Structure 1
Amino acid sequence: MDCRLGCGACCIAPSITSPIPGMPEGKAAGERCVQLSEDNLCKIFGSKERPDVCSSFSATFDVCGNSNNEALRLIAFLESQTS
C-alpha cells in the first residue's frame, strides 16, 4: 500500500520517544509532530534528522485503513495496546 499523501496519522497518533528536531524529548501519543506541515506533510522527509522510527514506518492496510480518520483510530488503538 502507498502512503496517503496528506494523511499525517503516523505523525499524530503514536508516541515517539526518539528526539525530533524541535521536540528533543520526542512526542506524546495524540500530539502533533512539529515537523508535520499544515497540509500534513513531513517537513524533514528524506533528511538525516528524521528519526529512524519515522523512516522505517511502512503504510499497510491494517495500520492505515481506508481513510485518514481510520488511520488515526487504528494507530491510536495500537498505541493504547502497546503503551
Structure 2
Amino acid sequence: MDCRLGCGACCIAPSITTPIPGMPDGKPAGVRCVQLSEDNLCMIFGSSLRPAVCSGFSASVDVCGTTNEQALWLITDLERVTC
C-alpha cells in the first residue's frame, strides 16, 4: 500500500521520541509535527533530517485503513495500547 497523499495521520497520532527539525525533543502523541505542511505533506520527506522512525514507516491497511479518518483513529489507538 502507498501512503495517501495529504493524510498526515502518521505525523499527528504517534509520539516521536527523537529530534525533528523544529521539535528538538520529538513530539507527543496527538500533536501535529511542525514539519507537516498545511496540506498534510511532510516538508522534510526524503531529507536526512527526517527521523528514522518516520523514514521506516510503511503504510498498510491494518494501520492506515481505507480513509484518512480511519488512519488517524487506528494510529491513535495503536499509540494508546502500546504506551
TM-score above 0.5, yes or no: yes
**Structure 2, unaligned runs of 5 or more:** none
What is the alpha-carbon distance in structure 2 between the residues aligned to residue 67 and residue 15 of structure 1? Answer: 21
Aligned length: 83
Query: In structure 1, what is the equivalent of residue 49 of structure 2?
Result: 49
What is the alpha-carbon distance in structure 2 between the residues aligned to residue 50 and residue 58 of structure 1? Answer: 15
Aligned CA RMSD, in angstroms, stands at 0.3
The answer on 1:2 being equivalent to 2:5 is no
TM-score by length of 2: 0.99
What is the CA distance between 1:77 and its match in structure 2?
0.3
Query: In structure 2, what is the equivalent of residue 72 of structure 1?
Result: 72
Q: Deviations over 1:11-58 (max 9, x none)?
A: 000000010000000000000000000000000000000000000000
TM-score by length of 1: 0.99
**Structure 1, unaligned runs of 5 or more:** none
